[in-house]
Amino acid sequence: MAPNIEKSNLNIIVPGFGCCKGEILTTRGPLYDIQRFGINFVNIAEDADILIITGFSSEEGVKRAKDIYLRMNKPKWVFAVGSCAIGEGRFCGGTEHLNKFKRDIKIDMFIPGCPPRPEAFIYGILRFMSEN
């Protein structure tokens, strides 16, 4: 199941909106430059390897994220980013929100923070790459 991730490049898809998404997308900028590790952000579900779940999603958002997960090609992984998603969030019902995903999807990595710094996101991804 586990391929050699270090040699291939990873494509990330970030559905939804929110402060976590904003901070994740700043890693594309010149200062953090996540692309030097071979990591790209994509719009199309079929191209993606990693799905990122954030807390700012209504029931329709949860449905869409699950839809994207089904359309993704194997091997595929899921990250949960931010306090809202991990289970302290107040806006979207705390742990209930994560349980909606956990019924169907196995989550591989949790990145805490409200919102997590760009460095934290890069650290999480690099650690995931080194472990697999």
Residues lying near another protein in the complex (CB under 8 A) are found at 13-19, 21-23, 25-26, 29-31, 41, 43, 45, 56-61, 64, 68, 90-93, 114-115, 117
Q: Of the two residues 58 and 99, which places its CB atom closer to another protein in the complex?
A: 58
Amino acid identity, position 19: C
Give the other-Cβ count within 10 Å of 31's Cβ. 7
Rounded alpha-carbon distances, angstroms, from residue 3 to 11, 23, 79: 15, 29, 18
Q: Closest distance between another protein and the C-beta of residue 106, in Å?
A: 22
Q: Of the two residues 1 and 40, which places its CB atom closer to another protein in the complex?
A: 40
Q: Closest distance between another protein and the C-beta of residue 128, in Å?
A: 21
Q: Closest distance between another protein and the C-beta of residue 4, in Å?
A: 28
Q: Of the two residues 43 and 130, which places its CB atom closer to another protein in the complex?
A: 43
Q: Of the two residues 23 and 77, which places its CB atom closer to another protein in the complex?
A: 23
